[in-house]
Amino acid sequence: MPDSRFQDRSVYITGAASGLGRATAVLFAAEGARVFVADVSEEGLSETIDSIRAAGGVVDGGVCDVASMAAVRGSIGSAVERFGGLHILVNAAGVGRAARFEEIDEAEWQRVIGVNLTGAFHTMRVAVAHLLQAPGGNIVNIASIAGLRGQAYNAHYCASKAGLLNLTRCVALEFAARGLRANCVCPGGVNTPLIRHFVPQPDYEKRLVGYYLPPAPHMMGMPEDVAKTIAFLASDDARMINGAALVADFGTLA
């Protein structure tokens, strides 16, 4: 293995069937972690698990909808039972799409908030007791630059990510003296299956869309780029970083 920063550490990762979650699971396993992956897509999870095992990594996992507290309790319980504890939680599960404000119905609002914000509350609420028992226990949540400013045609997604940022800060403060860290990574555009849902429609006002696109067409991040940022925050190299929103966006927000 090229590195062993996470040797003998157990990591629980949501949204691991594709995109950022899968890339993060692959990286942590390559660096020695025991990885438990969760997602609503059984097929995607199987692909992630097979990829990690083929590379010699230690992995297990199961289907879990993070919007359900009962499902999260069962899933994290399985991870703790399988690996004997939990050291790191990574919340990469996320949903959303570009939509005019008047097009967002209550069901879609509830689903986006339920996965992106309430889902992270569920996993953190269940995982905290286990993370507090682990030296260097910490949480990394995947927010977005959409949580740091308003964006037209993204009201529900922006609201969920802004809420996640402040939820993370609250957890970071409350548990800092007990040795538990919590941070956010805030990516810009990343080439994942989710990004297809945010392609602006032809009738969107260009001046309202252009300012949150990457500075140049080639400046689209890859899942592996964000995974490396997540791994840094979760490692002992970042032991002084707590309650942070680490932006990784090629300067888009700047």
Q: What CATH number has the domain bearing residue 113?
A: 3.40.50.720
pLDDT tens across 154-213, in order?
999 999 999 999 999 999 999 999 999 999 999 988 887 777 777 777 777 777 776 666
Q: Domain for residue 208, yes or no?
A: yes
The answer to whether 157 is a known catalytic residue is yes
Helix (H, G, I), strand (E, B) or coil at 1: coil
Tokens representing 150 are 């308003």
Active-site choice (12, 153, 157, 212): 157
Count of structural domains, the chain: 1
**Residue positions counted in the chain:** 254
Tokens representing 226 are 């964000």
Amino acid, single-letter form, for residue 28: F
Q: Domain for residue 229, yes or no?
A: yes
Q: Domain for residue 3, yes or no?
A: no
H/E stretch holding 245: strand 245-248
Q: Domain for residue 253, yes or no?
A: no
Q: Domain for residue 220, yes or no?
A: yes
What are the DSSP E strand ranges found in 48-103? 58-63, 88-91
Tokens representing 117 are 């914000």
Full domain range(s) for residue 151:
10-248
Question: What pTM, to 2 d.p., does this model score?
Answer: 0.93
Tokens representing 38 are 């969760």
Q: Domain for residue 4, yes or no?
A: no
pLDDT tens across 94-146, in order?
999 889 999 999 999 999 999 999 999 999 999 999 999 998 999 999 999 99
Q: Domain for residue 1, yes or no?
A: no
Q: Domain for residue 84, yes or no?
A: yes
